[in-house]
Structure 1
């Protein structure tokens, strides 16, 4: 321990000096610049926990405390890997969950037993009636082949990337419509990724497909 009992703690991503044998919630708020109003969440030790007003945490050599502070008075909740977490905002990002929980890139995060893992950097809404349930599972290597539907027929793609021309060839096997100047080709899709669930492709454009994505490829005579 230093002779003047000085310690470094992290407050909102900044390293600041704290003195004495303990730091209180009000002390953290003062160090953050929020004064005596706000919420203090302790984020070291693998979880996010509310430090209530009047409570304090001991300062000990070798232990670096970390806190996040928020304006307002509403504490939200979520459950991560079976543990209740507290938070001071209406939402928390997937990135923040990973950083606080010490969760590496070799693990996927899943919400409420969903069919797909959370996208990297996505936002988890904490204003729902029940606290969201976040589970961590070992990441599964990306499948080398992906089942999709092309013109009503299920097709197993050998790789997750496919081009406009690939889709035309799969929709009309045995023909060369791509080079036929008398044909107008259109490729549309639906049930795509959340950020682009439906749309169309242009000639020579590529897309990364997801399981179950539906494509419609049409060829019409040019007038």
Structure 2
């Protein structure tokens, strides 16, 4: 193979999916994220980079206090030492997460050990790491207590002594309380449609010349506030999502 034949990069995601070793290339493509877990593609020049070189390629100031972790194929987090080589060809890791911190916190998610660089972890981050279907949920295993359902907008404290434990399990059926035209109403789903809210606001049949308009706020879905049109739906919080519905009669 001549220099002209060497590809610009080889992608670790492709190599893992195709169950093959990394090919010789000018660079090696990994996925990198900070604590928001918004992974982006990142090219490193060496197949056995130092942790510090990965941070530098990501534009991080390596003089700051950063912790770097590789997410292995098993889902476990492995500490990447900044001044030690990490062999991309042998570890089966394509994703890396960095935290600007001087302390790490340990937690378990099912059978995976995760090291987190912040004293709290958001439910949204846990769901990203779990990568589960909508019919499943994450639960916090409280010591000596009842398992606590974790929602994406929750913030879980990791500062207690010991390792916090989370598990995934089928999502329980539970009612949610929304407020429709200043009145609390219970619904059986985390998603509600325009038509369902109209029925709660104005029960019964309506003439064809009646038009409804609707606004909402404090929703779980994004945007968290706005207008909802016929045929639309929003994801609600367990409590506190507010809807205002108005009725207009066309002449």
Identify the match of residue 41 of structure 1 among 50, 69, 76: 69
Q: 2:158 maps to what in 1?
A: 126
Matches of 1:53 and 1:6, distance apart in 2: 19
How many angstroms does 1:81 deviate by?
Answer: 0.9
Work out whether 1:65 is the aligned partner of 2:86: no
Q: 1:138 maps to what in 2?
A: 170
Deviations 1:12-37 (A, max 9, x none): 12211112221322122212322143
Structure 2 length normalisation: TM-score? 0.52
Work out whether 1:25 is the aligned partner of 2:46: no
Deviations 1:7-64 (A, max 9, x none): 1011212211112221322122212322143111223522333223334332239x56
How many angstroms does 1:159 deviate by?
Answer: 6.3
Q: 1:7 maps to what in 2?
A: 28
Indicate the RMSD between aligned Cα atoms, in angstroms. Answer: 3.9
Deviations 1:88-138 (A, max 9, x none): 112222222222233332321110243441112322211222322101112
Residues matched between the structures, number: 163
Contact 1:30 1:36 (8 Å CA) reproduced: no
Matches of 1:26 and 1:91, distance apart in 2: 25
Matches within 5 A, 1:138-217: 138-140=170-172, 142=173, 160=188
Unaligned stretches of 5+ in structure 2?
1-21, 34-38, 176-185, 190-196, 201-236, 246-251
Higher RCO (Cα < 8 Å, 6 or more apart): 1
Matches of 2:67 and 2:50, distance apart in 1: 12
Contact 1:23 1:56 (8 Å CA) reproduced: yes
Give the number of the structure whose alpha-carbon radius of gyration is greater: 1
Structure 1 length normalisation: TM-score? 0.57
